[in-house]
Amino acid sequence: MSSKFPTYLKSNNTGDIGVNAVSTIVNDELKFIFKRNNAEYDFGIDGYIEIVTDQGAVTGQVIATQIKCGESFFKTKTQTGFTFYGEIKHLNYYCNAIFPVIIIICHPESRECYWEFFTVEKTEKTKDNWKLNIPKRNKLTVNSKAALIDLVGEPVDFSEEADQQWKMTKAFKAADFVHYAIPREDIESGNIKPLSEFFNRILLNDELAISLQGKIEVAVAGYHFDKRELWEIRDVRRWAKKAEPKIKYWFFFCANPKNNSTLIWLLTCLTKIISVEHDSSNTNKLKIEYDPRPLVDVIERNFHYLNELTERFEIPIEENKRISNDSMLALGFSLEDANSANK
């Protein structure tokens, strides 16, 4: 008659005993939360322990568990515990996990459970796979609570940091221009990381990035008393050559017909200046003649990055053309040059 009904195998029962025993200890003794993994998606993880503070706060911190139940897991004894034998496929799975993994063995009669934190350093190679010692001192009880918390660390309250980020985002969105000054020490050391991280921080938020199109001014600090122009300073030219292809989105963030200083100093550092003279209509401005040939690849690359970003943000093609025109005008080219360069 049993062949006419679904069969509940002894191995299923043994596996359930182990999972249920762990669940009971985790929920009732440790006062954490145990979440069983659906058998359909069990590739080496049977469940997850969510950490809960003594005040009842669910922290978001998780420990994964591999649970093995059966008398056979207690047969191979060591001086301090029991030998657990694992497979290479599970070793790779655990090593790539983004959360701590503990191996738990459970005795089906006594319901006693013992655990060990998985790390390669604690394993040894066998003929075909690996083994791990599970100490008897690591009995899964309320006394394990502190050790398990140590695996994930104390929870962090990020509310203050989040509030600071929200204030900065709000301030950036409200600003007419955002001014970023590169310190002289970064220029001299060739350090582009801070500015790169600044732009990457903005790019994490689509709406913020879109709101800052054409509103970022990047300047070089620390050379105020230097009579040379930026393109005449070797360290600045070296920094520009390193930064330009890495930071990528200069045209999107810095192209503005009312404030084109960023693109001018950056790109003039990448080419040869032929002549410089004061603008007759404004002595505070310079008329610069430079060799555009070294900039062909730079301009082409930056148009590619501009297209990449406008496609990502689903910005209309008309807006893309406007930004392209603003970028070319900042470099002294005509609208026709801008249109032909962006084709």
Tens digit of pLDDT at every position of the chain (343 positions): 456 655 455 555 566 899 999 999 999 999 999 999 876 555 689 999 999 999 999 999 999 999 999 999 999 999 999 999 998 888 999 999 999 999 999 999 999 999 999 999 999 999 889 999 999 999 999 999 999 999 999 888 899 999 999 999 999 999 999 999 999 999 999 999 999 999 999 999 999 999 999 999 999 999 989 988 898 999 999 999 999 999 999 999 999 888 888 998 998 898 887 666 655 555 455 566 667 787 888 899 999 999 999 999 999 999 999 999 988 887 777 555 545 544 5
Of 112, 133, 152, the one marking the end of a domain is 152
Residue 294 makes CB contacts below 8 A (sequence gap 6+) with 270, 271, 272
What CATH number corresponds to the domain at position 138? Answer: 3.40.1350.10
Phi, psi dihedral angles at 318 (to 5 degrees): -65, -40
Count of structural domains, the chain:
2
Residue 206 makes CB contacts below 8 A (sequence gap 6+) with 313
Sheet harboring 123-125: ordered strands across? 81-86, 130-135, 123-125
pLDDT for res 287 = 65
Residue 300 makes CB contacts below 8 A (sequence gap 6+) with 341
Strand partners, 180: 218
Structural domain boundaries, residue 271: 160-341
**Same domain assignment for residues 223 and 295:** yes
Which pTM was predicted?
0.75
**Same domain assignment for residues 134 and 168:** no
**Same domain assignment for residues 130 and 231:** no
Closest CA to 326 of 210, 213, 195: 213
Of 136, 152, 168, the one marking the end of a domain is 152
Distance CA 227, CA 221 (A): 14
Of 96, 123, 152, the one marking the end of a domain is 152
**Same domain assignment for residues 7 and 146:** yes
